Amino acid sequence: MESKLNPQMRAALAKSQELAPTISYATIPLEDARRHYAQERAFWNEGGPELPHVENLTVSGPVGPVPIRIYHPEASGNHPALEFLHGGGFVVGSIETHDRIMRELARRSGCVVVGVDYALAPEQKFPVALEESLAVLRWMQESGKDYGIDTERLAVGGDSGGASLTMGVAVSLQPEPPAWLQGLLLYYGWFGLQDSRSSRLFGGTEDGLTKADRDFYRNSYLNSIDDLADLRLDVLRADLGRLPPARLIVSDLDPLLDDSTTLAALFKRVGVPCELTIHQGVLHGFLHYSRMVDTAQQALDEGATFLKKVLNQL
């Protein structure tokens, strides 16, 4: 796989190795895994756009208060909003580890971005993170006008595990998704495949997605194997016909690639507007590396352009 990486991706991996040597989270204590992930992400969160106002709140959730962070692209006025659900395999990650991604999307799109610090597994298993994400989205629609949000123009998005949660939220709103849900922004998510060509070909220690790592994330998140039959996880079997337009942005060397190509094909089959971009020479998680990788900058612009379009800002 090394020979297929573009030079900037190789340089970013070398920098990450310098910041925090690569380890398998499946083999170390959970608190060490979360510390390691946060340590490596801290460098990539430096820099980026400064926003006029960022505020931290909590929203009532199914098992207690859910911390959120609201990124305002302008100092005043109501703006359409994106609920952003961070990746990390449902086990690691936070609004801190994805801070720059959310600032970038807010600045580039002109949308308010609401980051959700949902409860992690295994302390809270499926469907708690999903239910918390849904609770925050409903709060945005019901109370967001008091926080600079245009409550009739909302989208949901996320990366990796956050993209899976995004689709779980959308499916939870079936059979009649509300008109105010106007777009789904999906960066390299897992949407239910338990085996695929891409999962056999790709995934290594470089991107933390070996088969052992993927099994670790899923076993931590699920109560039992029976959860895999839930349509909020296996969204590829769900009724997708009434969902809003979707934008899928992925990499060609990702073990989860086939999840996105299959979802895009299903969207098109049922007539849901969908655009899929497969970036070459980068790995799963590349969105974090916008300090060094031009493809990450492009993917952020693609997401922002989609938000402008579906939220009627273009």
Instruction: List, by residue number, the catalytic residues.
Output: 160, 254, 284
> What count of Cα atoms within 13 Å lies in the side-chain half-sphere of residue 105?
33
Is 186 within 8 Å of 248 (Cβ atoms)? Answer: yes
Residue 102's CB is within 10 A of a number of other CB atoms, namely 23
Place of tokens 């992400």: 41
**Helix, strand, coil percentages in the chain from 3-state DSSP, rounded to 5:** 45, 20, 40
Listed residue (218, 280, 284) closest to 254, CA to CA: 284
For the four alpha carbons of 277, 279, 284 and 290, in that order, the dihedral sign comes to negative
Task: Provide CB contacts within 8 A for 40, sequence distance 6+.
Answer: 16, 19, 20
Bond preceding residue 175 cis, omega within 30 of 0: yes
The β-bridge relationship of strands 65-72 and 53-60 is: antiparallel
Phi-psi region of 203 (alpha: psi -120 to 50; beta: other; left: phi over 0): left
Helices (H) and strands (E) in the chain, counts: 9, 8
